[in-house]
Amino acid sequence: MGEPLIECEVDTCTHWMSGNLCSAANIDILHEEEGRMAQSDAHTECKSFARKKGLANLLGSMDNVNWGGVVSSLFTPGQQINPSVSCIVNSCHFWADGNLCEADRIKVTGRGANECQDTNCATFENKA
């Protein structure tokens, strides 16, 4: 299975692009509280979030940009940019060995977020 398609509403992130695309090379989905298993999407976060605020912050997040995907999307509007996904939220129905996500799509929410704790993986489904 390939990487899930990413839909991201976090418009305050340096990786957010118009059309709710994510320009990150990799996104990391974690439990919001270390040591506590997520029971709902509110207990998850996108740890790859980097707040847009000035040139220094932008340059600091450049090491996680999917340059090939960004350039392709400029020439083919609407083309998906598929970051790789690492997910340690093993209480999720879509989690697989190797910290992989088996969902076809991942939706990251948190419009107006100031920090990664303000973001969520809306795709989360509790295994229980």
Exposure b/e, 44-62, CB count within 10 A at least 16 = b: bbbbbbbbeeeeeeeeebe
Give the pLDDT confidence of 14-51 residue by residue, as tens digits: 989 888 988 888 899 999 988 889 999 999 999 999 89
Give the pLDDT confidence of 109-125 residue by residue, as tens digits: 999 999 999 999 999 99
